[in-house]
Amino acid sequence: MSKDKLTEYRSKRDTAASGEPAGRRGKKDGGDLFVVQRHDASTLHFDFRLEVGGVLVSWSVPKGPSLDPRDKRLAVRTEDHPVDYAGFEGRIGEGYGKGTVVVWDTGTYRNLTGVSSDEPVAMAKAVEDGHLTVWLDGEKLSGAFSLTRTGTGRQEKWILVKKDDDGADRRAKPARTKPESVLSGHVNEDFE
């Protein structure tokens, strides 16, 4: 793997044309930011991102996160994104990812991976190992969520699942009923 975790991100974009952030890394030891962006590109999907090791480790979730613990959501691992991407909203111009983006949810997370054992697992190691659990404190998402890798290859496939806790709600469908940005109140169509 390249020492620069943003090499793949930069290679796929002409940020001058797309309007996306050029790519600032955060602190190497990482922060605790999470963001979910609603991205209306060739297909509508949600980009689930966790700040790990100075970048936003990212998954594309076609149906969006669910608050129902019975739902298993496909999450396809994508390239790491720069930390300053977390606040990006607007229209991505021609090229890779063309479409509109809003910040559907954001907040902080806590690593719960291996917390019950003698040696908690660091986030970077959890991603590498293919299983992590985090507690999200967002406006639309709260409580524990797990991501588990189910397949490798050109695109790693993972499953995103809400844990059955106080943040669980089997009736709520926020990915369908709450399309607006938590930062600006905009919806994707506002940027078309």
pTM across the whole model: 0.91
Residues of the chain with pLDDT under 70: 1-3, 24-30, 117-118
DSSP assignment string, 82-127: EGGGGG--EEE-SSTT-EEEEEEEEEEEEE-TTTTSSSPPPHHHHH
Residue 48: per-residue pLDDT: 98
What are the pLDDT digits (tens) for 1-14? 345 788 887 778 87
pLDDT of residue 81: 94
Spatial contact of 182 and 140, defined as CB atoms under 8 Å apart: yes
State residue 24's pLDDT score. Answer: 62
CA R_g for the chain: 16
Read off the DSSP letter of residue 175.
H
What are the domain boundaries of the chain?
7-191
Report the candidate in 186, 80, 181 with the shortest Cα–Cα distance to residue 128: 80
